[in-house]
């Protein structure tokens, strides 16, 4: 049966930024497909609620509070995973982000923090877990990138550059670790997460939907369905690819009104 290729029975998945939004949705999708799931985020209460939901699906869950910008906490996440389950098969590097900031107001420190949060942390955790994925069989790493890795919008010099780097890191990792570990990314478009939904209302939401060819904003399940495909045997012949899950956008649909730079009058 073709649907059997979307199963993750007997697999262990690690999800960062799992407390809410896309990370939470992907963790639940992996569990529904049969995986035991290690969920990592900074807020223990969010992890506890998610773990209860995973166990309600009949799967094991391990919660590991983790700030992915802290190397020692990534070390702990890897060691706790292996101590509890003895293997790892899937890694979803979801934790990341950076607020929009006009480039002339962007400090070097903020730029480097965006890179560390979105790129270095994913590379570091992958480096910890890849040898153990190889021991388990064939692993899958999924990096959550962004449409702003290839689209343009004023104010996203830090975030967009970091996500572009993450997308290309995905390709480089896929080349280096094939055929033992598949590495792909999802370039996520505007998606209605717990964090975004309160700000996308009324006229703003209508504008964004009008700028989206498929006429709506993304749902968490749109992203988690793609993540499940990439994690599962269904995608066993797919590596080094960036999947654009964005409603068909070919230009930014974020009307944030951050002004583009214009030369000040003399």
pLDDT at 40: 98
Residue 193: how many other CB atoms lie within 10 Å: 19
The answer to whether the peptide bond before residue 205 is cis (omega within 30 degrees of 0) is no
What range defines the domain where residue 134 resides? 2-244
Residue with tokens 């992203």: 223
pLDDT in tens, 180-210: 999 999 999 999 998 777 778 888 899 999 9
CATH number at residue 134: 3.40.50.720
The end-to-end CA distance of the chain, in Å, is: 70
Count of alpha carbons within 13 angstroms of residue 61, beta-carbon side: 24
Q: SS3 of 13, please?
A: strand
pLDDT at 200: 83
Look at residue 260 and tell me if it is in a domain. Answer: no
Look at residue 154 and tell me if it is in a domain. Answer: yes
Tally the domains of the chain.
1
pLDDT at 122: 98
Query: Is 159 part of the annotated catalytic residue set?
Result: yes
pLDDT in tens, 168-177: 999 999 999 9
Look at residue 265 and tell me if it is in a domain. Answer: no
Which residue among the candidates 6, 111, 117, 159 is catalytic per the annotation? 159
Residue 2: how many other CB atoms lie within 10 Å: 6
* Cα 218–chain centre separation: 14
Look at residue 255 and tell me if it is in a domain. Answer: no
d(CA 148, CA 160): 5
Residue count of the chain, please give it: 266
- Give the residue ranges of DSSP H helices in the chain: 21-32, 44-56, 71-85, 108-115, 121-136, 157-177, 202-210, 220-231
């Amino acid at each position: 049966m073709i649907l059997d290729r979307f199963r993750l029975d007997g697999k262990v998945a690690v999800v960062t930024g799992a407390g809410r939004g896309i990370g939470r949705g992907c963790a639940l999708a992996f569990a529904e497909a049969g995986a035991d799931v290690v969920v990592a985020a900074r807020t223990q209460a969010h992890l506890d609620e998610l773990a209860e939901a995973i166990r309600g699906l009949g799967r094991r869950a391990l919660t590991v509070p983790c700030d992915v910008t802290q190397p020692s906490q990534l070390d702990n996440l890897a060691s706790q995973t292996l101590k509890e389950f003895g293997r790892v098969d899937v890694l979803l590097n979801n934790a990341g982000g950076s607020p929009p900031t006009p480039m002339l107001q962007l400090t070097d420190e903020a730029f480097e923090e965006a890179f560390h949060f979105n790129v270095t942390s994913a590379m570091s955790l992958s480096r910890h877990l890849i040898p153990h994925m190889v021991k388990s069989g064939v692993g899958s790493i999924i990096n959550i990138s962004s449409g702003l890795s290839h689209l343009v919008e004023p104010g996203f010099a830090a975030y967009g550059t970091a996500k572009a780097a993450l997308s290309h890191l995905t390709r480089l990792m896929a080349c280096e670790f094939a055929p033992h570990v598949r590495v792909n990314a999802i370039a996520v478009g505007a998606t209605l997460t717990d964090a975004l939904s309160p700000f996308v209302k009324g006229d703003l939401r209508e504008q964004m939907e009008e700028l989206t060819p498929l006429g709506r904003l993304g749902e968490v399940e749109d992203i988690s369905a793609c993540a499940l495909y990439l994690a599962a045997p269904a995608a066993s012949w797919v590596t080094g690819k960036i999947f654009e899950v964005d409603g068909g956008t070919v230009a930014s649909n974020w009307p944030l009104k951050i002004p583009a730079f214009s030369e000040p009058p003399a």
